[in-house]
Structure 1
Amino acid sequence: MTGAVGAPVPVFFISDNTGVTAETLGNALLAHFPGIRFVRRTFPFVDSPPIAQQVLSAARTAGPATLLLVTVRAAEVSAELSAGPFAVVDLIKGHLTALEKLLGVKGAAEVAPHHSIGNLDQYSSRMRAVEYTLTHDDAAGASSLVGADLIIIAPSRCGKTPTALYLALQHGLRVANYPLTEEDYPALELPRAVEPYRVRCFGLTSTAQRLSQIRQERLPGGAYASLFRCRQELRWAESLYRRHSIPSLNTAARSVEEIAAAILQTMHLRPAAAPSSP
């Protein structure tokens, strides 16, 4: 296997379903090796030996150091993947065996796909939350904020929209997001539409360097993306959060999952429906 100073390591996430679990568990493990650069590919719906052979063919093209991270239930498919010349890590089997020992019960050979819709009421609740969040993006629908579980406020490009959508889709929360603009800063007042719902507000911030980089990608060369403007807006936003006791988080080095988890914990929000990956 290639080490920290060698070539990038190809990693295949292989699943007999959508691949979400393989990616989630696999990336959590790979994060423990920051000195190695991984080149990732996902292969969903690998549910038969012929499809497994296609994956192995792709692995041969990627190189002999390819690492296969697998969440596949069918024994014949697992056997096909293990028969190849590549390192295979079964992300389910070891945990399942440990649980069987702890519970004293043999796990079922056939189980319902855990990424299916499942409970239709929960699924419908999450879809309604997504619809609400989409129609309350970037100050839209400000007249109906009374229905929001959470209102995210922040300067432009601090991560409001992806965080709101993640909370809606994964946790069934109705999330509105509202940008802070130059009109809000001089007096350090909350936007008029948001102020009545201050206790539901959560603020995002960033670093000036990161914010400038993101803004340059959208509108390069203008004052909007300048370091001076970004520093000024972030200082104003942080002062506004302190003045109104709005909890906040710096998103510069955090994933959307980390941001969402921090918001849920800080705001004591309980997901409206148990998440079931789409």
Structure 2
Amino acid sequence: MKRDVFFISDRTGITAENLGDSLLTQFPNIQFNRTNIPFVTNEKAAQAAVLAIRQSKKNGVEPIVFSTLTDMATQTIIKDSCAHVFDLFGTFVEPLEEALGTESSHKAGRMHGIGDTNTYDKRVHALNFTLGHDDGLSLRNLNDADIVLIGVSRCGKTPTCLYLAMQYSLKAANYPLIQDDLVGSTLPKSLDSCRGKLYGLTIEAEQLSRIRKERRPTGEYSTLSRCQWEIARAEKLFIEEQIPFIDTTTVSIEEMAAIARRDMKLR
């Protein structure tokens, strides 16, 4: 079974997609055709969105619409689209206004905008730091990091670091444990200065082997036996050095970042 889903927003659509997708995952037996329509900032754009929504209606099955529009006039137009419309903004803002005893600004894009220059600058600084300290690229100023992820190659360090920087403005470095580190099962001296900021990532050997074969289908690097050895040595290092770590095998990037923040007590 397939259903058409639209994410309507007066900005990027990130919030509508994130919340909408979280709800849709509760229906694993249904396939969803997703369409994001961002920057619906006036009635003309809303009418164009309604046309796209109505054209997707097939066999009398109404599409699903997740909307985070803040303007009541454009939201009213979307509600007249012959679809199941879920107003993700109005559903929560009106009760929140009552709870706080004041009206909201009803301004678009405040969460993802750059009106707060301090927050924006902090995020850019964190991202630049993370990119400059990816995969052991630079070991300078590691102590300035908020968190340093360590683990074997291809276990999810880089995407998790980028997410931490983009989503939480955290300076996240990462260091790949190479054969020399694993043979001795000792912490590299270059990480001594940031020992309290280390967080380990591990993964099941079968999954790691599959991931590595996509990059290098031949050679010892991607063999199951090699992956098993590396993971066993890495986990031994984590335990002996009392480094907290997480198994990333069935965990999303978002979950890895959230768990790491919680475990490391980062804001």
- Indicate conservation of the 8 Å contact 1:137/1:176, yes or no: yes
The alignment's TM-score, normalised by the length of structure 2, stands at: 0.91
- Quote the residue 1:192 is aligned against: 189
- Quote the residue 2:16 is aligned against: 22
Deviation at 1:113, TM superposition (A): 3.0
From 106, 110, 116, the equivalent of 1:113 is: 110
Moved over 4 A (4+): 109-112
Deviation at 1:110, TM superposition (A): 4.3
Matched, 1:58 2:52: yes
- Quote the residue 2:38 is aligned against: 44
Report the RMSD for the aligned CA atoms in angstroms: 1.8
Are residues 72 and 111 of structure 1, via their aligned partners in 2, closer, same or farther at CA, if it must alter by over 3 Å?
Answer: closer
- Indicate conservation of the 8 Å contact 2:5/2:32, yes or no: yes
User: Aligned partner of 1:133: which letter?
Assistant: T
Matched, 1:255 2:249: no
- Indicate conservation of the 8 Å contact 1:143/1:193, yes or no: no
Matched, 1:176 2:170: no
User: Aligned partner of 2:17: which letter?
Assistant: E
Which protein is richer in helix relative to its size? Answer: 2
Are residues 140 and 42 of structure 1, via their aligned partners in 2, closer, same or farther at CA, if it must alter by over 3 Å?
Answer: same
Q: Secondary structure at the match of 2:184?
A: coil
Q: Write the distance in 2 (CA, Å) between the matches of 1:112 and 1:67.
A: 23
- Quote the residue 1:221 is aligned against: 218
Deviation at 1:143, TM superposition (A): 3.1
- Indicate conservation of the 8 Å contact 1:163/1:260, yes or no: yes
Q: Which has the higher contact order (CA 8 A, sep 6+)?
A: 1
Deviation at 1:29, TM superposition (A): 1.7
- Among all aligned residue pairs of Structure 1 and Structure 2, give the percentage whose two residues are the same amino acid: 39
The CA deviation string for residues 11-31 of structure 1, in whole angstroms up to 9 with x for no partner, is 111100111111122122223
- Quote the residue 2:160 is aligned against: 163
- Quote the residue 1:268 is aligned against: 265
Q: Write the distance in 2 (CA, Å) between the matches of 1:207 and 1:46.
A: 44
- Quote the residue 1:128 is aligned against: 125
Q: Secondary structure at the match of 1:24?
A: helix
Q: Secondary structure at the match of 1:177?
A: strand
Q: Which runs of 5+ in 2 are unaligned?
A: none
From 229, 237, 241, the equivalent of 1:240 is: 237
Deviation at 1:130, TM superposition (A): 0.9
- Indicate conservation of the 8 Å contact 1:17/1:113, yes or no: no
Deviation at 1:175, TM superposition (A): 1.5
Are residues 85 and 70 of structure 1, via their aligned partners in 2, closer, same or farther at CA, if it must alter by over 3 Å?
Answer: same
Matched, 1:101 2:95: no
Deviation at 1:139, TM superposition (A): 0.7
Deviation at 1:112, TM superposition (A): 6.5
Q: Write the distance in 2 (CA, Å) between the matches of 1:33 and 1:11.
A: 13
Q: Write the distance in 1 (CA, Å) between the matches of 2:109 and 2:235.
A: 47
Q: Write the distance in 1 (CA, Å) between the matches of 2:56 and 2:139.
A: 50
Q: Write the distance in 2 (CA, Å) between the matches of 1:138 and 1:58.
A: 44
Matched, 1:13 2:7: yes
Q: Secondary structure at the match of 1:143?
A: coil
User: Aligned partner of 2:14: which letter?
Assistant: V
Q: Write the distance in 2 (CA, Å) between the matches of 1:189 and 1:106.
A: 58
The CA deviation string for residues 212-263 of structure 1, in whole angstroms up to 9 with x for no partner, is 2221222223322222222221111111111110100111222221111111
- Indicate conservation of the 8 Å contact 2:10/2:108, yes or no: no
Matched, 1:81 2:91: no
Q: How many residues align?
A: 264
Q: Write the distance in 2 (CA, Å) between the matches of 1:190 and 1:24.
A: 38
From 146, 149, 153, the equivalent of 2:146 is: 149
Q: Secondary structure at the match of 1:156?
A: coil
The alignment's TM-score, normalised by the length of structure 1, stands at: 0.88
Deviation at 1:111, TM superposition (A): 6.0
Q: Which runs of 5+ in 1 are unaligned?
A: 1-6, 271-278
Q: Write the distance in 1 (CA, Å) between the matches of 2:169 and 2:105.
A: 30
From 196, 199, 202, the equivalent of 1:202 is: 199
